[in-house]
Structure formats: C-alpha cells, structure tokens
Amino acid sequence: MWLLNELRMPPLRAVAAVEAAAADLVIVSLHHCEDLPEAIKNWIELSLQKKGRRPALLLALIDPVHEGDSGEICSFLEKAASKAGIEFLVGNVEHEAVDHR
C-alpha cells in the first residue's frame, strides 16, 4: 500500500510502479478532487506500461462525502486502463461498483 504523497517522490514512485505492475488488482482510493496530481498520473501510467498484457483490474474507490465532480479522475483512469488492456471499475460507498467496459 502506498500513500499518494509518497508517490510524489520519483524513487518511491518507481518502486510502487513495479509493485503495481506485478499485481492482479490495483486499488486507487481517493477523496474527491477535480483531477489527479501529475505525479500520481505518472505512477499509474508507468505501472500500466510495465504490466504488459496480463489480465488485471484497476479499481477506483472515490469518497462520495466530498461534493463535486470526480469525472476527470474517472475519465483518466478509464483511458489508462483501456490503453493497457485491463478492466476498470469505479465505486463509492453510495453506489455499487459500476463496470466501465
């Protein structure tokens, strides 16, 4: 498990990317925000590039307590997963997970 602030440091981001690439399931759990910080986007893209074409799932859990639209985050994650050829699900406490295939 990696905290988002740890992924801002390039050496830790590289280690986390290797670990995520080896996983069958990567869970990104966030409080609502308009967009992901660039360092986090870089980690996700690097992780998915290293994964290859192995079957996997990217699951985004976004805290619904905070008001606003997390659409940009979901859109980025969905595109990244699609580009890597892996499945993507998004869910929150108020709703069941939704398949975005």
The CATH number of whichever domain residue 71 belongs to comes to: 3.30.70
pLDDT at 50: 87
| Measured distance CA(73)–CA(69) in Å, rounded | 9
Q: What is the pLDDT tens value at each position of the chain, 101 positions in all?
A: 888 889 889 999 999 999 999 999 999 888 766 678 898 899 999 998 888 777 899 998 887 665 556 778 888 999 999 998 899 998 865 545 556 55
pLDDT at 79: 93
pLDDT at 10: 92
Full domain range(s) for residue 79: 6-99
**Does any domain span residue 72?**
yes
Distances from the Cα of 89 to the Cαs of 12, 14, 19, 73, 83, in angstroms?
A: 26, 24, 20, 12, 15
pLDDT at 78: 93
Looking at the 3D structure of the chain, how many domains does it have?
A: 1
